[in-house]
Structure formats: C-alpha cells, structure tokens
Amino acid sequence: MSITAADVNKLRQMTGAGMMDCKKALTEAEGDFEAAVDFLRKAGQKVAAKRADNETNEGVVLVALNADHSNGKIIALACETEPVSKVPDFNNLAKTIIDKAAASHAPSAHDLLAEPLADGRSVEGHIIDLTGKIGEKISLAAYENVSAEKVVSYIHSNNKIGVLVAFENVQGADVSEVGKDIAMQITAMKPVALDKDGVDSETIEREIEIGKDQARQEGKPEAMLEKIAVGKLEKFYKEQTLLNQQFVKDSSITIRQLLEQTQKGLTISSFKRISLV
C-alpha cells in the first residue's frame, strides 16, 4: 500500500521517532499504525541490547523535594555522549521521570522503572523507545529516595552531580544555608560514609593493608605495622567520613561541630551523592 507523508507525520507525532524510521516502520507494517509502533519499540530494544555494554558517562541529574522538604528524590538519566544529554527529548524524559518519582514514592530504581507514565507505558519502556530513536544507550543510572525532618538538595552547575542531605532534630532552625554548604562539601570531598561506623568492612581492611604496605616501604619494623596502619585508619576516618571532615569554609571546625553550632543537637541521618563524572 502507499504510505503518505501524512501517515508518516502521524506516526512521528505518536512516537517521536524520526521521519525515515516512521516511514520504514509503516512500510514494514503495511500501514498498520499499531504494528508500526511495535516495530519501532522492537527497534529500540535491539539498539538497547546491542549497546548494553557501552559506558554512559554523560546525562543529567535532577532532584525533587516535596512541599515541606521532608522528602527528596534524585535521579541520574545517563547517555553515552554530551550532545545527546542536550537533546530536548532526553531532557523532557528526565523531567518526566523525576516528576513520576516525586508522585509515586517508588522505593527503588527497579520500582521506578516499572512505574507507568501518562500513556500507560512504563518508565523503562520510554527509555528503551528513546534509545531506539536516538541510537545510543540511555539508562536510569541512579535513583535515591530520602526522608527526614528536613532534606536539603544541591545540583552542581554541570548538572552531573547531585546531593541530598537528611537533617534530624532541626527544632525549627533554618538549615537551608548550612545544608547547601554541607551538600557542596559532599559534592567536592566525596565522603565514603557519614561517620566511621558507616564505613564497610571491605574498605577498612583495604585501608589497613594500604597502611601496612606504606609503613613497610618506609622501613618500619614488622611488629609495628598493625599499630601504624590503625593510626593511618584514624586519619582516613577524619578525611573520608562527613561528620569528621574539616569544614571547607572554616578548617578550624569539623562538620559535626558546624552542626552543633548551627543548632544544638542538630544531626545528619544520611546523605546521598550521585554523579555521572
């Protein structure tokens, strides 16, 4: 059958796919629009499978806070190249996904991917469709859902790093400014945990072995290596756990002390940092 320009344009409006892809889909489907849509979706799945192992270091990070800032969501929608990260369809999908996250309260990335959007198709289905349309891998690289008495968010200027900080025992204090300062510190200093109790055993073991190797190379006696390594571990905690880090704006105090100065008893229960760089 003859495929008209109007038919191609109609399918393009329905799917957002390119004109040539729409014409090919309609030709393969012999003018059947539903079959043509399925053809385009299968094309997206094929592209996704073919590029599944490709790295995705570009994209956008977005956050959403509820009205009283007691909950925050953060996502990273990733792609392979910077030009794609600037494509309107890519950014519109990212905005749609963060809006769905805010509305649905999905507890995990897996759950968020399964959430239906306005047309009934899942978030994952839309990502696959856009993958087929654009021709490179697109993925929901990260998703975090944080609740606390107050949640402060921060997006770095390149839109590739985002942070959520969860505060407790606020007692009516305005933590927006100190929250932003701490979020910016998390962005720059990349703490591995909130406090030393949050550092996983694998990291501790690795740091102890590194400390032993350094001491050994310095010619320290074998019997002293364990003690020296433990001392180095304490230094690691001070540098790599948020509450024990020096405040970058005032190195005379730690983040723990900054919290106490801001509001007696103010604490951070958790933080989330996601990055595409």
pTM score of the predicted model: 0.80
CB atoms within 10 A of CB 256: 18
Last residue of a domain, one of 117, 147, 177: 147
pLDDT recorded at residue 263: 95
Same domain, 118 and 79: yes
Q: Can you say how many angstroms the Cα of residue 110 is from the centroid of all Cα atoms in its chain? A: 14
89: in domain: yes
Same domain, 78 and 133: yes
In this structure, what CATH number is given to the domain that contains residue 116?
Answer: 3.30.479.20
27: in domain: yes
Residue 169 · residue 187 · CB < 8 Å:
no
Mean pLDDT value across residues 185-198: 96
Predicted confidence band of residue 45 (pLDDT cuts 50, 70, 90): low
Report how far residue 22's alpha carbon sits from residue 40's, in angstroms, rounded to the nearest whole number. Answer: 8
Whether 48 has a pLDDT exceeding 60, the answer reads no
Same domain, 58 and 46: no
172: in domain: no
Whether 93 has a pLDDT exceeding 90, the answer reads yes
Same domain, 13 and 81: no
Backbone angles phi, psi at 95, to 5 degrees: -65, -40
Residue 106 · residue 117 · CB < 8 Å:
no
pLDDT recorded at residue 137: 87
**Those residues with Cβ within 8 angstroms of residue 276's Cβ, 6 or more apart along the chain or in another chain:** 56, 57, 58, 59, 60, 61, 76, 78, 141, 160, 161
16: in domain: yes
Same domain, 42 and 60: no
Same domain, 27 and 86: no
Whether 213 has a pLDDT exceeding 80, the answer reads yes
Last residue of a domain, one of 147, 178, 212: 147
99: in domain: yes
Number of H helices, E strands in the chain: 11, 8
224: in domain: no
Number of residues in the chain: 277
Same domain, 35 and 67: no
169: in domain: no
pLDDT recorded at residue 134: 80
Q: What is the total count of domains within the chain? A: 2
Burial of 265 (0-12, 13-18, 19+ CB in 10 A): exposed
Same domain, 15 and 87: no
In this structure, what CATH number is given to the domain that contains residue 46?
Answer: 1.10.8.10
18: in domain: yes
Same domain, 11 and 61: no
Structural domain that includes position 62: 52-147
Same domain, 96 and 132: yes
Residue 150 · residue 106 · CB < 8 Å:
no
Average pLDDT, the chain: 90
Same domain, 67 and 132: yes
Mean pLDDT value across residues 176-204: 96
Same domain, 96 and 26: no
User: Which of the two residues, 221 and 164, has the higher pLDDT score?
Assistant: 164
pLDDT recorded at residue 184: 97
